[in-house]
Amino acid sequence: MPTDQPSDLLAWLFPALLAFLCAHVTLECRARLAESLRSADADRWQWLAGAALAFGSGVWSLHINGLMTLPLAFNVHYQTLLLLAAWLLGVALAAAGIWASVAVRVPALAWGLGALLLTLALVGAESLALRAAASEPALAWPLADLATVAGAVGVIALLALALGSWRPAQPGLHTAARLAASLLLAAGLWRGGAQLLNALPLELLAASGSQQGLALSSLGLLARLGTLILLLMTLVVARREAILRASLVQARGDVERESLTDPLTRLPNRQAFELRLKDLGLASERDGSGLALMFIDLDGFKPINESFGHQSGDWLLNTVGQRLSTAAQPGEFVARWGADQFLLLLPGVRAREPLAARARTLLKTIAQPMEVLGRELPVQASVGVAIFPDDGAAALMVSHADAATHAAKAAGGGTFCFFEPHMLHDSREQMELLRDLRRAIEDQELELYFQPKIHAPSGQITGAEALIRWNHPSKGLISPGAFIPVAERFGLIGAIGDWVIDRACRQVHEWREGGLRMRVAINLSVHQLRQDDLAERIGAALQRYEVNPTLLTCEITESVAMENNASSKAFFDKLEQVGVHISIDDFGTGYSSLSYLRQLPAEELKIDAAFVKDLEFSNDARTVVDAVVKLGQALGLKVVAEGVETDIQRDILRQLGCNELQGFLFAKPMAANRLFLWAMSDDGPAHIDFRQSLFGDTQIPDDLDGPVPAR
């Protein structure tokens, strides 16, 4: 301990360092103990023991070191057992004080009780250590001095415990508070011990000293070196554990953040959105400020993904996510809901006018030009808007905004809609449609209709396209445009596609048995093409009904056909081995690669009806059709135009050189038996005839591995 006139600088600095280490290690272990109690860790006793040993050993060592700095006339000796008891008393009282300071639930009471016990540890250990000094009579302090020192140390210990328990959010402030608490407690221990020793009647100790027991000079090395090593080791362990715990906390935080983050766009994911929606919903309910949600669904994302590949699709989603994040205003929350869907929460907004303006701005932002592989992508979105509390509970906002998005898509896409109650009725109807569709195949409610394909130069029927219809028991005939999207969305398209393949092959067989050798075209969806055994199942159906493969045409949309990858190339090779004809449907709407188009085993290109519709009024449409026809002729492909509804369209297509035509101008889709009656008894339009080559025998192939020409 320092005296009024320290003998040297070391005698003055060492007890200060010792006091600081004692206080700092004690508070560090106490902090670890508090964390262990909060997390119910089993190592709580380890930290309690570390704090008690640090405090008790520090106080004991400070006493020995303080006596060594006093100007004594001879070497003081101690009774060994009594000196050991003094150390144990300090450790025990310190353990009780540290435990009380963190275990008692009321903070002020915990700090007060802890400070009292720590003060008793200091005073008790010092008093018992003095008793251990071999003197007669035994040394003791004046009560007034003892009370003064105890009161000062108690107040300082109370402040240090309170400051050490403070847990500010800022890491730097937290560290500063812990350091200040250590300095404060160290000052109390150092100065309190010094005042106690300075109050001793040293002349009595000098007059009655004994030479029996442990000498003070011998204890000095243990007190200084041993205690210092103990404190440093405990501090190292505490700091290493603190670093490890901080790393674990950071790791848990990283894992939690990752669990709330979309891995592709790095936007908050569905789980994070639901948490934020709950919080903002409660806040809006309290203050009545309102809350709006925009459900953003990209239009036509699948064709882009299928045409350019998934990497380009991922890039597009990332770009849209960045644009939405940039467009978000302070307080708003952007998240990715899934697939090509995003969400935007707008707190404090309830009026429709600003929401409508905001939706228009978002649509323009999303529709800004994007380029992939040197080509500009036509990107647009549909937006559904729901408002809380006007449109119902906050928990229903996503489903309501989703329903509004479907309404926007039904209106053609590229626009926005506010939620209306009737939209939920439409959703319920869709669910009912799904339920009925699941049993439609088993109940034989599906039926194929056939639309004739006309040879353009002669005007004769050369084949037909199979189009599925649904004979609903209560709703009547349902077109594919109403139920195919439902089937694709809920995973029924595979079963329906298999049914179409089987029924088309069976119909070709039945017509052939009746004397009509009609070529039939079927449409293959992108979902069917993902089935590895699709070509095998087509071949099996042809074999099952003994149908020549050349009588079946498989129409595949351009966006899917042009997906230049190993799996699509392998599929086309399998179809070519089966021997069916391949037609590229909706040609002109996708992004064709001429080099890849030359490699496909396709036999025809089918011009999309959108170009045919505008032939009479648009030079651009006529230019596109002319280019497709010339391209087909250059590649040796037959060109078919669908959606022909007027004589002018027919005449233009003939002039441009189309090979086949299809549309309402010639005939609407009809049941198989009606088409057969027309072919066999001329029960149809008088100006349309069937080609003579459609009547007669057909050679049955023995092996479907390759095409067999029909007779």
What percent of the chain stands above pLDDT 90?
15
CA–CA separation, 554 vs 584, rounded Å?
9
Check residues 429 and 641 and name the one with the higher pLDDT: 641
Residue 44 · residue 37 · CB < 8 Å: yes
- pLDDT tens profile 161-216: 888 888 776 766 777 887 888 788 888 877 777 777 666 665 545 444 444 444 45
For residue 248, what pLDDT is reported? 52
CB atoms within 10 A of CB 601: 12
Question: Is the pLDDT at 520 greater than 90, yes or no?
Answer: yes
Residue with tokens 């002020």, as numbered in its chain: 108
Q: Residue 250: enclosing H or E segment and its boundaries?
A: helix 227-259
For residue 200, what pLDDT is reported? 63
Return the CATH architecture of domain 432-684. Answer: Alpha-Beta Barrel (3.20)
Nearest to 179 by CA among 343, 45, 20, 355: 20
Does the domain at 270-419 match CATH 3.30.70.270? Answer given as yes
Residue 536 · residue 567 · CB < 8 Å: no
Check residues 320 and 568 and name the one with the higher pLDDT: 320
For residue 443, what pLDDT is reported? 82
- 3-state SS string over 580-630? CEEEEEEECCCCCCHHHHHHCCCCEEEECHHHHHCCCCCHHHHHHHHHHHH
- 3-state SS string over 521-588? EEEECHHHHCCCCHHHHHHHHHHHCCCCHHHEEEEEEHHHHCCCCHHHHHHHHHHHHHCCEEEEEEEC
Of 3-17, 383-397, 682-696, the poorest mean pLDDT is in 3-17
Mean pLDDT of 459-487: 84
Mean pLDDT of 316-330: 90
- Confidence band for 19, pLDDT divided at 50, 70 and 90: confident
Structure tokens at 198: 């300075």
Of 307-311, 402-406, 581-585, the poorest mean pLDDT is in 307-311
Check residues 478 and 503 and name the one with the higher pLDDT: 503
CA–CA separation, 193 vs 22, rounded Å?
13
Strands 604-607 and 214-215: unpaired
For residue 230, what pLDDT is reported? 56
For residue 28, what pLDDT is reported? 81
- Computed over every residue of the chain, the mean pLDDT equals 78
Residues of the chain with CATH 3.30.70.270: 270-419
Residues of the chain with CATH 3.20.20.450: 432-684
- Confidence band for 519, pLDDT divided at 50, 70 and 90: very high
Of 299-303, 305-309, 574-578, 646-650, the poorest mean pLDDT is in 305-309
Mean pLDDT of 41-64: 78
For residue 34, what pLDDT is reported? 84
- 3-state SS string over 117-132? HHHHHHHHHHHHHHHH
Nearest to 467 by CA among 454, 449, 484: 449
For residue 418, what pLDDT is reported? 92
Of 4-8, 245-249, 600-604, 609-613, the poorest mean pLDDT is in 4-8
CA angle 631/632/638 to nearest 5° reads 170
> Does the predicted TM-score (pTM) go above 0.75?
no
- Confidence band for 3, pLDDT divided at 50, 70 and 90: very low
Check residues 532 and 95 and name the one with the higher pLDDT: 95
CA–CA separation, 191 vs 338, rounded Å?
66
For residue 205, what pLDDT is reported? 52
For residue 709, what pLDDT is reported? 37
Strands (E), 178-316: 214-215, 291-299
For residue 179, what pLDDT is reported? 83
- pLDDT tens profile 430-441: 677 778 888 887
- pLDDT tens profile 125-150: 877 877 776 555 555 566 776 777 78
The strand pairing partners of 583, in sequence order, are: 555, 604
Question: Is the pLDDT at 256 greater than 90, yes or no?
Answer: no
Structure tokens at 635: 């590649």
Check residues 475 and 258 and name the one with the higher pLDDT: 475
